[in-house]
Structure 1
Amino acid sequence: MPPDAEKWPPSYPPRTPPPPKRPVEPPRPERQGAEVIAVRPRARVRIANRRAGNWTYDTGAWAAHSTPARAAQAVLDRLRSWGYGLPDQHPVAVITARLVRAAVADGGRRASVHLADQDLDGQVVVLVLSHQRSGVPEDERLLREVTGLGAVAAGTEDGPEDGARRRWAVVEV
């Protein structure tokens, strides 16, 4: 090598930084004329200091006729395993079947039944989710029917984030 030649450092050519592992998230579009609402991740519901159970049922046409009876029997079996001696036609079974029938009528593919025990009060909460947004508002006759069957309290609501219709009842056991 001639003495007047330039000497390049050993790092030539210059190293380029590695590409990012995840692509950068593009900016979210802003809606004009609409209020932007911050969406928080959905918190998972945690039931503490009480017994609980949940089941999911298919509500397709082939299973819709047996789903309410299966859900009512599952709730009764769980309550009996908790020490409640309940007859087969206890109001909690009838109310569960009625709420599941209403969820099946929404037309979704599945329905979830959630049961929670309030040990001190001798009451249980039965919650049924239809997992389907129904375009029809809930008829108040359902709530009157459920309270007429023996529920202490009953209610219904449409979930804003997931669209699932929730129906619930508090029943004395």
Structure 2
Amino acid sequence: MPTARRGVGMVNRRGANWSLESAPWAAGKACAAVTGQLAKWKYRPAPETVTAVEAVTTLLVEAAVADGGSKVSVHLSDQDGQACILALSHHTALTTGHDDAGGDVLHQITAHQAVTGCGTDTGPDGRRLWAVIGLG
């Protein structure tokens, strides 16, 4: 029996996701959702880490919105005191493979000291941009 097209998947960790209209206000809504979920998971990061989470979420979502899809999804997971934030553009007309265009966004993301890793690629479901942030 055929299965539905599979998007982002994860195992052995908590996760949450939100689907948002691809609009200028999406980044603000995503920031509130991500920081709210981390609080529900009982994370109490230092103020500078909260600032980094908000800034990185904004960069990820704004880049996904700029791709021009009709929606953006934001995925959050945690493991070992770190959070992975992923934004997916859902713009299916993009060329698949390594995403050189996302390089500038990655440099902006890595400017935040709390970021331990980030990346971007493009697949059949659009461009994925992600960052891992230490919450300790």
TM-score range normalised by the length of the shorter chain: 0.7 to 0.9
Distance 1:98 1:44, change over 3 A: closer
Question: Does 2:61 align with 1:100?
Answer: yes
More helix by share: 2
CA contact (8 A) 2:121 2:129 kept: yes
Q: Are the aligned partners of 1:138 and 1:156 in contact in 2 as well (CA < 8 Å)?
A: no
CA distance in 1 between counterparts of 2:87 and 2:9 reads 17
Which deviates more from structure 2 when the two are superposed, residues 128-137 or residues 141-150? 128-137
Structure with more relative contact order (C-alpha pairs < 8 Å, separation 6 or more): 2
Contact persistence 1:127–1:167 (CA under 8 A): yes
When the two chains are superposed, the root-mean-square deviation of aligned CA atoms in Å is 2.3
- Return the match for 2:110 from 133, 137, 147: 147
State the identity %.
38
Report deviation, 1:140: 1.5
Give the structure-1-normalised TM-score.
0.65
Consecutive aligned runs of 4 or more in structure 1 exceeding 3 Å deviation: 40-46, 86-89, 133-137
Closer, same or farther: CA 46–110 of 1 in aligned 2, 3 Å: closer
Code of the aligned partner of 1:129: L
Q: Residues 58-77 of structure 1, C-alpha deviation per residue, up to 9 Å, x if partnerless? A: 01xxxx22110110110000
**Richer in strand (by share):** 2
1:167 and 2:129 matched = yes
Q: Which has the larger radius of gyration?
A: 1
By how many angstroms is 1:42 displaced? 4.9
Question: Which blocks of at least 5 consecutive residues in structure 2 are unaligned?
Answer: none
The amino acid that maps onto 1:95 is V
Q: Give the TM-score normalised by the residue count of structure 2.
A: 0.81
Are 1:90 and 2:51 matched, yes or no? Answer: yes
Task: List gaps (5 residues or longer) in structure 1.
Answer: 1-39
